[in-house]
Structure 1
Amino acid sequence: MHEQLRPGPPGYRGHPDPPIYAGLLARWAADGRTLPGRRDPEWSRIASAPIWPAGSLYGG
């Protein structure tokens, strides 16, 4: 397993995570959990939904 660098602004080299964290992140990823420094697909889906419901029931 290779060490992953932490995200940061452009040009930032970062520091590699210690191996114990790399293993933990791999386990969380395998379980489908949200990981630090990565987008949460569920949050992205919810945040991109329309503010008001649509359809005949709501006048749209």
Structure 2
Amino acid sequence: MQIVNATRFVIGMVFLVVAVGLFLSTRGERGFGQLRQAAVMCLLAAGIFTAIGLGWLDL
């Protein structure tokens, strides 16, 4: 595995940390509120940016 674009890879890792933090903060709540929706969107962004950073996705 080789990092092609370090900046986008780091942005993806930051999104991943934010998403995990949001999921942990909403752990005791019920339902699928706005914070969990934001966490899911951060996970999607983390996946996209990490894939671009690793050269798996060419956008």
| Larger relative contact order, structure 1 or 2 (CA cutoff 8 Å, min sep 6) | 2
Greater percentage in helix: 2
Q: Does the alignment reach a TM-score above 0.5?
A: no
What is the TM-score normalised by the length of structure 2?
0.31
What is the TM-score normalised by the length of structure 1?
0.31
